[in-house]
Chains A and B, each alone.
Chain A
Amino acid sequence: MVTVGWTKSGFPSLRTSRFRVSCSAKPETVQKVCEIVKKQLALPAESELTPESKFAALGADSLDTVEIVMSLEEEFGISVEEESSQNITTVQEAADLIEKLVQKKSEA
């Protein structure tokens, strides 16, 4: 998944760890995603979530994942297409998609 910023500058942005650069999504976005995930999965506040944290590994089933996406939609005022939501498996992926959709929304 390519964030708009990257394609505009012409850099290839591939969804591989080789090309993953830490500044793909704002820290505040990642932070917010972590909060929502923790809440959905009823994880203790102290639990350590990283951008690479996989929802499934944290105990999320398919229903949890859909509800996480729904909460993110509500929190950020965006609408996630079904195809995109299927690709959200980690905190980072969620944050990147959110930023992309927020960006698109502001450009509309």
Chain B
Amino acid sequence: MALQLNHLSFQFHKFTSFSPPPMASIRSPTVFMASTLRSGSKEVENLKKPFSPPREVHVQVTHSMPPQKIEIFKSMENWAEQNILVHLKPVEKSWQPQDFLPDPASDGFHEQVKELRKRAKELPDDYFVVLVGDMITEEALPTYQTMLNTLDGVRDETGASLTSWAIWTRAWTAEENRHGDLLNKYLYLSGRVDMRQIEKTIQYLIGSGMDPRTENSPYLGFIYTSFQERATFISHGNTARLAKEHGDIKLAQICGTIASDEKRHETAYTKIVEKLFEIDPDGTVVAFADMMRKKISMPAHLMYDGRDDNLFDHFSAVAQRLGVYTAKDYADILEFLVGRWNVEKVTGLSGDGRKAQDYVCGLAPRFRKLEERAQGRAKEAPTIPFSWIFDREVKL
């Protein structure tokens, strides 16, 4: 899940902060270039102090799932053990970051590092901006484990709870933890990026947290994670592809390996929601529409490096331009999920359920149309400095 990359939280500026990619910003770069205090900026309140991290502006809603539904998740525990935990990899069979990095215990260490740095030299700055943003997102893992533990009915009550849900959450966290570690070490060794600025960004981000507006509801939560895992699978897949194109096969393997984890996680989360559609189609379709209406916000949308008040938007724009995570991907993921969960065919819905079904089924085409128009009207993008790469400039 970690890679949520700005990708696609979609920063349609016209929408809200928690929205699709920066299509609008591509159209009018002057808007976000104008000042540090952007009017209408999502996380920026009117009284925002310049050079402070952004904060969530929406009112935070809690426990929106009716408490009687908690039973559903208790009763699903055996099912989860048989059907969800199987998607975890045993630790003994799992890859570790060291498998992809120079071996410090070997005599060849220095040579391996030299080779890594040589390959890294061939990767352009804009690629590094996106890779760094991804890494920062992964490194904010504490926030995501926290988020999973806010969900009613499935939270890990003690930190060592033996419910299937708690076992899943801890093991998922453990698998994800390797992603940030691996990317961190790679970036450190590469010599191409300002580690201190990156580390600062991570500290700010974990401090900021995030509110994906899942309101303690596992319905909303698992729909959110389904979307996000697929988004990270796509974006890591793209960074892998680009690494290969630039001749860094080892980095391509790194990104590809991370992507395959995300795919496994996506399978697990989508299975949970599929089961929820079976058990409570009305509640689940309404939840799906609710999350899409609120827009799937990217986990790292509050990122801040102490310098750029619009860091996430800028990062998103580069990810969009490089094709790592785009508005089109957002629409594709939505369409995929609608198909995966057979939303069109769901029956026995209430009036609200049918409205939600119509909304969700009709949404992807609307996004695509918007995206087409934005592409057609895209203006020349500015180049701006990124502190992650020593203030070298990159085109948005």
Contacts and interface: CB of A to CB of B under 8 A. Distances in A.
A98 B31 CA distance: 21
A67 B366 contact: yes
Contacts of B79: none
A96 B28 CA distance: 22
Interface string A58-89: 00011101110010000000010111011000
Given A61-B293, A62-B14, A67-B366, A83 B31 contact: yes
Nearest to A87: B40
B11 to A, nearest CB: 12
A44 to B, nearest CB: 16
B203 interface: no
B16 A86 contact: no
A83 B373 CA distance: 17
Most chain-B CB neighbours within 10 Å: which of A63, A65, A82? A82
Contacts of B28: 81-83
Contacts of A81: 28
B19 A62 contact: yes
Contact of A85 (B14, B19, B370, B377): B14
Nearest to B293: A61
A70 B373 CA distance: 9
Contacts of B14: 62, 65-66, 82, 85-86
Nearest to B363: A63
A79 B377 contact: yes
B27 A63 contact: no
B15 A63 contact: yes
Interface string A77-108: 00101110110000000000000000000000
Contacts of A85: 14
Interface residues of A, number: 13
Interface string B87-100: 00000000000000
A63 B366 contact: yes
Interface string B12-26: 111110010000100
Contacts of A86: 14, 40
Nearest to B24: A82
Contacts of A79: 377
Most chain-A CB neighbours within 10 Å: which of B14, B366, B373, B377? B14
A67 B373 CA distance: 11
A53 to B, nearest CB: 20
Contacts of A63: 15, 366, 370
Contact of A62 (B16, B27, B31, B373): B16
A79 B19 CA distance: 22
Interface in B309-352: none
Interface in B1-43: 12-16, 19, 24, 27-28, 31, 40
B15 A82 contact: no
B15 A66 contact: yes
Contacts of B13: 82
B37 to A, nearest CB: 15
A63 B360 CA distance: 13
A40 to B, nearest CB: 11
A66 B20 CA distance: 13
B240 to A, nearest CB: 32
Contacts of B15: 62-63, 66
B27 A82 contact: yes
Nearest to B295: A62
Contacts of A83: 28, 31
Interface in B353-396: 366, 370, 373, 377
B82 to A, nearest CB: 39
Interface of A: 61-63, 65-67, 70, 79, 81-83, 85-86
Interface of B: 12-16, 19, 24, 27-28, 31, 40, 293, 366, 370, 373, 377
8 contacts: A62-B14, A62-B19, A66-B12, A70-B370, A70-B373, A82-B13, A82-B28, A86-B14
Given A62-B19, A63-B366, A67-B370, 7 more contacts: A61-B293, A62-B14, A62-B15, A63-B15, A67-B366, A82-B14, A86-B14
